Amino acid sequence: MLGRTLKYLREKAGKSLGQLADDTGYDKSYLSRLESGERLSKVTVMEDLDGYYGCGDLLVSHWEAARLDAFKDQYKRFMGLEATARIMWKFTLGVPGLLQTEEFAREVLSGAQTTPEDNELVEEQVAARVGRQYLLRQKPEPNVRIIVDEFAFRRPAARAKTWSDQLFHLEAAATWPNVTLQVLPFSGGVHHHMSASLTLLWQGDGSGVAYAEGNTGGQLIEDPTGVLRHRLSYDRLRDLALSPPDSLAFIRDVVEEHRS
């Protein structure tokens, strides 16, 4: 649907792919693959084209639906709830996807991919992951608390600049008014989420869900008793974590260590 809409708007405007490429600065072959549904763009491309065609947020709204196809089915229900949540609590062992830079996400998702087909899949996954970050700036903004294990800061990216940019992004995120970022230090000892991430979401009506994800997949918990159990679990992690000011100081110390 997104691809057909892109083609319809271009033809309605009386533009060829070449003319659209000249007007927007995007590669002609790239635009062609978006229209054929072969590629998922970054959300910023759709924002640019919405402005170019003067169609409000039509393409962005189609993109939000299209991006779900880049994720496994078991994750889609969670993503739908995440998109409308008013409160988000997250714990991650690594750098959380919502705070990854594009280059860092590309390195994480690339793994051992070697073929052109693999590279295409990686680019689609990168676009989808980075695109999720629009959740942090939608209106009204959700209230977000993220606890990140110290492990995330001790496993740098392969490229020094990628890691530097990622650290600066985390430092900036720790100062955003709707985001509370805390570090769970190694000194906190062994904890009960050492092999899984945890997310808790609350909607405007007060209903909540929990989503636990490990190496073998994820589980969406909607039963109130199960959600409460995971909320208490999260509270224990927060008790072990550094305070927000101390966490920001920790991140800045890591930035300085990287510089030196």
Domain boundaries, the chain: 2-67, 72-259
Class of domain 2-67: mainly alpha
Q: For residue 175, which of 103, 83, 241, 99 has the smallest C-alpha distance?
A: 99
Rounded (10°) angle between helices 244-259 and 160-173: 160
Q: For residue 99, which of 148, 60, 45, 42 has the smallest C-alpha distance?
A: 148
| Fold of the domain built from segment(s) 72-259 | Endonuclease; Chain A (3.30.870)
C-alpha radius of gyration, the chain, whole number: 20
| pLDDT score at 215 | 67
pLDDT digits (tens, 9 = 90+) for 188-241: 888 888 878 999 999 999 999 999 987 667 788 989 999 999 999 999 999 999
pLDDT digits (tens, 9 = 90+) for 9-55: 999 999 999 999 999 999 998 899 889 887 778 888 999 999 999 99
Give the least confident one: 83-87, 110-114, 244-248: 110-114
Share of the chain above pLDDT 90, in %: 62
pLDDT digits (tens, 9 = 90+) for 96-106: 999 999 999 99
